[in-house]
Structure 1
Amino acid sequence: MAALLRRTKILATLGPATDAPGVLESIIAAGVDVVRLNFSFGDPDSHRARAEAVREAGHRLGREVGILVDLPGPKIRIGHFVDGKVHLTAGDRFDLLARADAAPGTAAEVGVSYLGLPGDVAPGDVLLIDDGMMHLRVTSVDGQRIATEVLNDGELSDRKGLNKQGGGLSLDALTEHDADLIKVAAQMGVDFIAVSFCRTAADMHKARRLARAAGSDAYLVAKIERAEAIENLNEIIDASDVVMVARGDLGVEIGDAELPGQQKKIIRESLARHRVVITATQMLHSMVESPIPTRAEVLDVANAVIDGTDAVMLSAESAIGRFPVRAVEALARICLGAERQFDHDTDFEAAPRNLQRADQAIAMAAMFVSEHIGVRAIIAITESGGTAGFLSRYRSPVPIFGLSWHPGTRRKMALMRGVIPLDFDSRGMDTRDAVHNGVRRLFDADLLAVDERIIFTSGDEMELRGATNTMRLLRVDETGNAEILGGL
């Protein structure tokens, strides 16, 4: 192989730091596979401009770069303070007012954005503000006023987020504003739409209906960041295309001690159910200000990679950090190092039985053959990206080349672990021509060499979704063409 290929994919959040001249192209060149547009900040016009810049930069660099839109969801925030911030002391009383006309806050009280909060809390509940930096214990609820006792000294400033320890807030995952933003995302032609604070599969089904009604075929991403989502994890995974371990709010709700185990569980269950999974939040948070990560961050990223995550994500590190390019470079370096450490053997005894789809069976067979006879690569001609996705569920050092004529399919494959998407138009070709031209495509790009063995999967019909039903074992001959060694 001409170059060492990183299997774990990298997402980077765009923001002011990536708007600087040359930075966007530099982070893509450094290894970004998918960019995140955080719709909690900015306006549709600024997001459209960034999306257009991503498409242009990817085209210049010859890279397939996906775009993920992150919906705001029902984030609960406190209001503004008269002086922008207050200092609270443990033992003080501090009230939350669930009123739309609440006055600017003081050290005695502040408004909250969720007017239904009094109905979701009771004396003894603990509320967490600013990602858990401030703890408040509810002492009484009187109409729209929630009286609390401050549990720790600290400073509180405008518009900080609020969570309830242990979960239990009854807000719907999708607000009317989210529904409007899904239409914006559809108009932009984004590849992924992330649903914040989902609680059940119904939230994901609703988001999918809204996206399809708006004309979007984007993959739906379930952000697991509520305690209730953990209780309904498998049904949410099944209703989604991609799952994100959103460790910020999730850690606040379930507690730091529970977070590592739940992260591993979410990754494990997502892979078992054939879903792409992203690990996110504070992966390299020190690099917002520092040019190098801490050792603890290196270990955190590496452990997620070893656990099998498809992708790792940068948030503030790339959006507002001082060293966005270095952060991407560090993430790529850590991922490659971690991938060299784990055992590549797939446990086929643990693989699913009674497969109902031909493309799933072909993917499993391809991985079995690749490990037992040794091949240099697996090539999958795919209309929808489904076969490449199934192949990527099996841990293997063999790179998977996903060949598709459809740009949207290629950008979706950019998020799949171990899959390298390439432009290849097989429309109108018979199977034999598709095999030879596909192999030649990789040979001419110096991705294959003479005498290397490869596995090639395709369908009898080149333009049908889910039609993969054939696997061939090939050798690259002296002219760069495919010599068939065997097939199913």
Structure 2
Amino acid sequence: MHRATKIVATIGPASSSPETLFQLIRAGVDVVRFNFSHGTAGDHRQRAEDVREAARGNGREVAIMADLQGPKIRVGKFENGRVQLTAGEPFILDAHCELGNEARAGLDYKDLPRDLKPGDMLLLNDGLIVLTVERIVGDEVRTIVKVGGELSNNKGINRLGGGLTASALTAKDVEDIGTAMAIGADYIAVSFPKSATDMVTARQLANIAGAPFGAKPKMIAKIERAEAIPELQGILDASDGIMVARGDLAVEVGNAAVPALQKRMIRMARESNKLAITATQMMESMIHAPVPTRAEVSDVANAVLDGTDAVMLSAETAAGKYPVETVEAMAAICVEAEKSEHVELDRDFLDRTFTRIDQTVAMGALFTAHHLGAKAIVALTESGATALWLSRHSTHVPIFALTTRAASERAMALFRNVTPLASETSSDRDQALKQAVELVVSKGFATRGDMVVLTVGEPMGQAGGTNTLKIVRVGNPY
């Protein structure tokens, strides 16, 4: 069954064995996320080799996404590993405290006292604990516990409404970008960007690190700071896509604001010809249970109907008991949701101006395939740009992108409704089109008598050169 929505799965202790990786990719994983908050460069290198081998074993390519840790805005460690905070009691966040106790906690982010003022609300451990800032005394933030609970080592800190000044890129991130390029990462996800400048800087660093390998990764901005919301268009323009990172974002802007923001961000990404990933707690219960809750099923389905390119799994596959079953369940939900997806291609094209020939051909292919009832759209592409434009509009016609470049094939693994395929394309146009249709037929996507819409560029092999649209019926001469 063709599935348009892609699945990103995080690799961790529960899923890093070669056998489990093979099963995950067979179950439907399209992009493997490496969380650079954990593991060494050696760990990432070995896992990258295992991922590539598992993908080859499944006869396909998957993308690798390196997710940078970003600034550590966290409490430090405690003498006994954890403390119990009681509502109404004082509690101090101390930039110079080595080991915390019931009265105070240390800080990984030493500049926190300079970012705060009396009356600010601090949310710890994903908002489960709430502190009210009373006053700042030197390097101490003196607070009153508003909502208590258990606080353990290294839990995160957010300020309600945002406003923390920590840079999106740390020294560790710069080092990790080098590791990511050395292991052949196709995407780099930047944590906590506040503006387009953060993404431009990250891209420059990635391009420099990737130069010895001839690689330029695609950049994903994780939208998880309140300050990023008013800067969203600029961040989109400077990125290849965004991740709707609902965890930290919800803590800063409030849970109730996130669903509408999710829809807005996905819509803006599609309108800007960018990618969108929906993340955080999508199948959280499956960390411990073999089936998802009905609420989780609805959450995934609604993200699909919003038009997200991909849905993402974090702890569910990294540390959960049922990583493969979780991917299988998520894939089934996506397929079912896509059946009811409403297509409005004609309306999508109203009031749109296309200034590039290759983009105009892509839009023509979508319109033609939709109205003629074609079984497939086949794009012969070098860079993947044509496939990206095709994927920005909802259609029930599967898109197959044939490329001679392995890097393009892996990058397109994240594009909604696009199945990337490796092709040793002939330099002769008619022969290349014939080979393209034969490949799609051999994969079982079309049969004799089916109509197929093809796009190709002449001269062959040049990125950005798509200039031809052809309609063929399988089995007829070219």
Kept in 1: contact 2:79–2:101 (CA 8 A): yes
Matches within 5 A, 1:131-142: 131-142=126-137
Letter in 2 for 1:193: I
Is the Cα–Cα contact under 8 Å of residues 17 and 320 in structure 1 kept in the other structure?
A: yes
2:155 counterpart SS class: coil
1:466 aligns with 2:471: no
Provide structure 1 residue ranges, at least 5 long, that are not aligned to the other structure.
none
Matches within 5 A, 1:439-478: 439-477=437-475
Q: 1:415 to 1:21 in 2, by over 3 A?
A: closer
1:308-343 residue CA offsets vs partner (Å, 9 max, x unmatched): 001000000000000001100110010011001122
Residue 156 of structure 1 aligns with which residue? 151
2:180 to 178, 185, 196: 185
Aligned to 1:32: 29
Using the TM superposition, give the Cα deviation of residue 348 of structure 1 relative to its aligned residue in structure 2, in angstroms.
3.1
Q: How many Å separate the matches in 2 of 1:352 and 1:276? A: 22
Q: Which amino acid aligns with 1:263?
A: Q
Aligned partners of 1:378 and 1:454 also within 8 Å:
yes
How far apart are the structure 1 equivalents of 2:421 and 2:203?
27
1:27-69 CA distance string (max 9 Å, x none):
1100000100000011111111111000001001102111000
Deviations 1:259-314 (CA, angstroms, capped at 9, x unpaired) = 11101110010001011110001000000001000000000000000010010000
Q: Residue type of the partner of 2:54? A: A
1:49-198 counterparts in 2 under 5 A? Answer: 49-99=46-96, 102-198=97-193
Indicate the SS of the match to 1:449.
Answer: coil
Contact 2:348–2:393 (CA<8 Å) still a contact in 1?
Answer: no
Q: Cα deviation per residue 1:349-369 (whole Å; 9 max; x = unaligned)?
A: 555622222121111111111
TM-score w.r.t. structure 1 length? 0.95
Counterpart among 214, 226, 239 of residue 209 in structure 2: 214
> 1:401-426: per-residue Cα shift (whole Å, max 9, x none)?
00001111001110001000111022
Residues 71 and 168 in structure 2, CA contact (< 8 A), matched pair in contact too = yes
**What's the secondary structure of 2:21's corresponding residue?**
helix
Three-state SS of the structure 1 residue aligned to 2:419 is: strand
Letter in 2 for 1:434: A
- Contact 2:190 / 2:220 at 8 angstroms: preserved in 1? yes
Deviation, structure 1 residue 19:
2.5
Q: Secondary structure at the match of 1:268?
A: helix
1:353 corresponds to: 352
Query: Which AA in structure 1 matches 2:257?
Result: E
Alignment-derived partner of residue 3 in structure 2? 6
Could you say what secondary structure the match of 1:309 adopts?
A: coil
The answer to whether the Cα contact below 8 Å between 2:376 and 2:445 also exists between their aligned partners in 1 is no
CA RMSD for the aligned pairs? 1.2
Percent of aligned pairs with the same residue? Answer: 49
In 2, distance between residues paired with 1:84 and 1:443? 59
Which stretch of structure 1 is more off in the superposition, 342-351 or 285-294? 342-351
Find out whether 1:270 has 2:269 as its counterpart.
yes
How many residues are treated as equivalent by the alignment? Answer: 474
Deviations 1:418-470 (A, max 9, x none): 000111022x5121111111111222232221011111001002211111111
CA contact (8 A) 1:6 1:418 kept: yes
- Other-structure match for 1:322: 321
- Look up the SS of the partner of 1:18 in the other structure: coil
Equivalent residue for 1:431, pick from 429, 432, 435: 429
Change (3 A) 1:347 1:26: same
- Counterpart of 1:290 in structure 2 is 289
**Which stretch shows the higher mean deviation, 366-375 or 36-45?**
366-375
Runs of 4+ in 1 over 6 A off after TM superposition: none
1:208-254 deviations in Å (ceiling 9; x for gaps) = 10011112311100000000111100110111112100011001110
Matches within 5 A, 1:218-229: 218-229=217-228
Q: How far apart in 1 are the matches of 2:267 and 2:348?
A: 16
Give the superposition deviation at 1:162.
Answer: 0.6
Offset at residue 73 of structure 1 (A): 0.4
One-letter amino acid matched to 1:140: R
Between the aligned partners of 2:240 and 2:290, the Cα distance in structure 1 is 34
Report the TM-score when normalising by structure 2: 0.97
Q: 1:133 to 1:409 in 2, by over 3 A?
A: same
Matched, 1:42 2:39: yes
CA distance in 2, matches of 1:342, 1:390: 19
Post-superposition Cα deviations, 1:153-201, rounded to whole Å, max 9, x if no partner, equal 2000000011111000111111111111101111111100000000100
In 2, are the aligned partners of 1:345 and 1:371 still within 8 Å (CA)?
A: no
Q: Is the 8 A contact 2:77 2:154 kept in 1?
A: yes
Give the whole-Å Cα distance in 2 for the aligned partners of 1:232 and 1:142: 33
Q: Does 1:242 align with 2:241?
A: yes
Q: Which runs of 5+ in 2 are unaligned?
A: none
Between the aligned partners of 1:432 and 1:352, the Cα distance in structure 2 is: 34
Q: After the TM superposition, which of the residue ranges 414-423 and 354-363 deviates more from structure 2?
A: 354-363
Distance 1:243 1:94, change over 3 A: same
